[in-house]
Amino acid sequence: MIVTVSELMKEHEAIERELIELDTIIHSSVVNYPNLLHVLKRLKAILDPHEEKEELFFNALHKKGFTIPVKKITFEHGKLRRDLGMLLKVLHSGNDGEMHTVLFKYGKDLTENIRKHMADEDWILYALPKRS
């Protein structure tokens, strides 16, 4: 599978759109649970294949001699997947009070962590030619 810088950057933009929607839900006084579930599932559907592409891409760069923090990137991918899975699990539990508390605390952390992770990756992506 050939992965390009522009493809990864476009996927970061798609992830950011979902994070904006998730932020809106988190800060709403009344949580729209069906919409929340929809956004979390879309985010997971984008993140899972995106992370696989990134790991292939960054590993290939590392093998070519670029200084890439591959272990850190892979570790963070696992942590982000776990945190998103926890939110989905709590949502499926049906406990509104617990979900609102978890969503506000961990949902905010998740969006911040995903944004920080993408920013860390972007410094690598922006430095490369678009056709890499």
Summarize pLDDT for 7-36 with one digit per residue, the tens: 999 999 999 999 999 999 888 888 888 898
Residue 27 phi, psi dihedral angles, 5° rounding:
-90, 5
Which one has a higher pLDDT value, 5 or 114? 114
DSSP annotation of 104 reads: I
- Residue 63's pLDDT band (boundaries 50, 70, 90)? very high
Give the DSSP H or E segment for 117.
helix 108-127
Has residue 130 got a pLDDT over 60?
Answer: no
Q: Does the model's pTM come out above 0.85?
A: yes
Cα 89 to Cα 53: distance, rounded to the nearest angstrom: 25
